[in-house]
């Protein structure tokens, strides 16, 4: 087994204690009726919390029968030296990749060879780490888009009131990794994780 294979793993992602999901799982269809470059897109990544105007803050999203299996994203972190490509293993975007859109937002996009966004995992001191540095299965890391900035969380306001991720705007956030499998060069399962 190569060093890259030994450093590859599968994990469930959360951001600041909130599971991650996709806009299409938490927004109604009316948000996507216009094919607007500046509007939200179904494949963009968000968190399982929603802005409450009454409380003036984000609160956890209640799990309903419609979305009970849509909360949480399982990702295969495929290692290349000291950086990773993040392949989604969850339903609806199975086998797509965490990648930056043309507007710089983090979304689920098809593999694009060398144009697929790669990420460094950074510890709380902003030093690059790999699976070799993880002595247990629950870790927190910053994601840094390779040759770009650390991924930040920002509120997409107006009628959406949802968080989204970008490497230019917002505040830096720690992502929680719950490692499910270690030393996984290529996922064996052909069915999505739930």
pLDDT in tens, 152-188: 998 876 666 778 888 888 899 999 999 999 998 877 6
Instruction: Convert the pLDDT of each residue in 40-62 to its tens digit.
Output: 577 678 787 655 554 445 555 54
Alpha-carbon distances of 85 from 11, 27, 77, 120, rounded to whole Å: 13, 27, 6, 9
- The DSSP H or E segment spanning 30 is none
Distance, CA of 49 to CA of 63 (rounded, Å): 10
Distance, CA of 150 to CA of 173 (rounded, Å): 8
pTM: 0.83
Distance, CA of 103 to CA of 41 (rounded, Å): 11
Distance, CA of 137 to CA of 152 (rounded, Å): 24
In sequence order, the β-bridge partners of residue 67 are none
């Amino acid at each position: 087994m190569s060093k890259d294979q030994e450093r590859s793993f599968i994990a469930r992602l959360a951001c600041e204690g909130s599971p991650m999901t996709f806009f299409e799982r938490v927004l109604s269809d009316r948000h996507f009726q216009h094919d607007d470059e500046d509007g939200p897109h179904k494949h963009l990544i968000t968190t399982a919390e929603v802005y409450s105007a009454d409380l003036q803050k984000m609160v956890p999203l209640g799990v309903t029968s419609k979305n009970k299996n849509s909360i949480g994203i399982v990702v295969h972190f495929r290692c290349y030296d000291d950086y990773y490509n993040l392949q989604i293993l969850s339903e609806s975007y199975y086998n797509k990749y965490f990648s930056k859109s043309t507007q710089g937002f983090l979304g689920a996009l098809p593999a694009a060879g060398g144009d697929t966004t790669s990420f460094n995992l950074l510890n709380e001191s902003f030093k690059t780490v790999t699976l070799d540095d993880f002595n247990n299965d629950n870790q927190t890391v910053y994601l840094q888009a390779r040759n770009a900035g650390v991924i930040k969380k920002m509120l997409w306001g107006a009628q959406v009131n949802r968080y989204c991720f970008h490497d230019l705007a917002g505040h830096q956030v720690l992502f929680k990794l719950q490692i499910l499998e270690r030393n996984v060069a290529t996922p064996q399962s052909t069915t999505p994780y739930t």
